Structure 1
Amino acid sequence: MSDEILINVSPTERRVAVVESGLLQELYLERSGESSYVGNIYMGRIERVLPGMQAAFVNIGLERTAFLHAADILPRQPELDENGESRPVPSITELVSQGQKLLVQVVKDPLGTKGARLTTQLSIPSRYLVLLPGIKSLGVSVRIELDAERERLRGMLRELTGEEPEHGFIIRTNAEGIETDALARDLKYLRRLWPRIEADAEQATAGQLVYEDLSLPYRSLRDLMHAGIEKVRIDEQETFQRAVRFAGEFFPEWAERIEFYDGDGPLFDLYGVETEIERALDRSTPLKSGGHLTIDQTEAMTTVDVNTGSYLGYRNLEETIFKTNLEAAQAIARQLRLRNLGGIIIIDFIDMTEDDHKRQVLRTLQRALARDHARTTVSEISPLGLVEMTRKRTTESLEHRLCESCPACDGRGRVKSVDTVCSEIFREIMRAVRQFETGQMRVMACPQVVDRMLEEHHRSIAELTEQLGTSIHFQPEDQYDQEQFDVVLL
Structure 2
Amino acid sequence: MKGWTVALDEVNGREAAALIRDGILEDLLIDSDAPRPGTIYRGVAERPMKGQGGMFLRTPDGSAFLRQVKGLTPGQTLLVQVTGFAEPGKAIPVTSDILFKSRYAIVTPNKPGVNVSRAIKEDEDRDAALEAAHEGFAEAPLPEGAGLILRSSCAGADPEDIAEDVAAMCKLAAHVLADAGKAAEVLVEGDGPHALAWREWTHVTDVDPEPGSFARSGADELLDALRSPYVKLQGGYTMIIEPTSALVAVDVNTAGDTSPAAGLKANLAAMRDLPRQLRLRGLGGQIIVDPAPCPKKDRRQIEGQLRAELKKETVESVLTGWTTLGLMEIQRKRDRQPLKDLLK
TM-score by length of 1: 0.61
Candidates 153, 157, 161, aligned match of 1:174: 153
- Partner of residue 93, structure 2: 117
The within-5 A match list for 1:392-471 is 392-402=333-343, 416=344
Q: Is the CA contact (8 Å cut-off) linking 2:128 and 2:159 kept in structure 1? A: no
Whole-angstrom distance in 2 between the partners of 1:69 and 1:290 = 45
Cα 1:208–1:354 shift into 2, 3 Å = closer
Number of residue pairs aligned between Structure 1 and Structure 2: 336
- Partner of residue 67, structure 2: 69
1:213 aligns with 2:154: no
Whole-angstrom distance in 2 between the partners of 1:176 and 1:375 = 25
- Partner of residue 430, structure 1: none
Q: Secondary structure at the match of 1:24?
A: strand
Whole-angstrom distance in 2 between the partners of 1:379 and 1:112 = 25
Whole-angstrom distance in 2 between the partners of 1:293 and 1:154 = 47
Whole-angstrom distance in 1 between the partners of 2:165 and 2:217 = 34
- Partner of residue 425, structure 1: none
Q: Secondary structure at the match of 1:218?
A: helix
Report deviation, 1:293: 0.9
Q: Read off the aligned partner of 1:304 and give its amino acid letter.
A: V
Structure 2: gaps of 5 or more residues: none
The within-5 A match list for 1:328-343 is 328-343=270-285
Structure ID, larger Rg: 1
Q: Is the CA contact (8 Å cut-off) linking 1:351 and 1:385 kept in structure 2? A: no
Cα 1:383–1:149 shift into 2, 3 Å = farther
Report deviation, 1:282: 1.9
Cα 1:111–1:187 shift into 2, 3 Å = same
- Partner of residue 239, structure 2: 293
Cα 1:382–1:36 shift into 2, 3 Å = same
Whole-angstrom distance in 1 between the partners of 2:94 and 2:311 = 27
Q: Secondary structure at the match of 2:168?
A: helix
Q: Read off the aligned partner of 2:95 and give its amino acid letter.
A: T
Structure 1: gaps of 5 or more residues: 74-91, 237-265, 403-415, 417-490
Cα 1:173–1:350 shift into 2, 3 Å = farther
Q: Is the CA contact (8 Å cut-off) linking 1:23 and 1:271 kept in structure 2? A: no
Identical positions, percent: 26
The structure carrying a bigger helix percent of its residues is 1
Give the aligned CA root-mean-square deviation in angstroms: 3.2
Q: Read off the aligned partner of 1:120 and give its amino acid letter.
A: S
Q: Read off the aligned partner of 1:29 and give its amino acid letter.
A: I
1:233 aligns with 2:175: no
Q: Comparing both chains, which one has the higher relative contact order based on Cα–Cα distances under 8 Å and sequence gaps of 6 or more?
A: 2
Q: Is the CA contact (8 Å cut-off) linking 1:140 and 1:154 kept in structure 2? A: no
Q: Is the CA contact (8 Å cut-off) linking 2:38 and 2:191 kept in structure 1? A: no
Whole-angstrom distance in 2 between the partners of 1:171 and 1:346 = 38
* Cα offsets for 1:152-176 (capped at 9, x unmatched): 74995499569x9841223434345
* Cα offsets for 1:222-255 (capped at 9, x unmatched): 12222xx24111224xxxxxxxxxxxxxxxxxxx
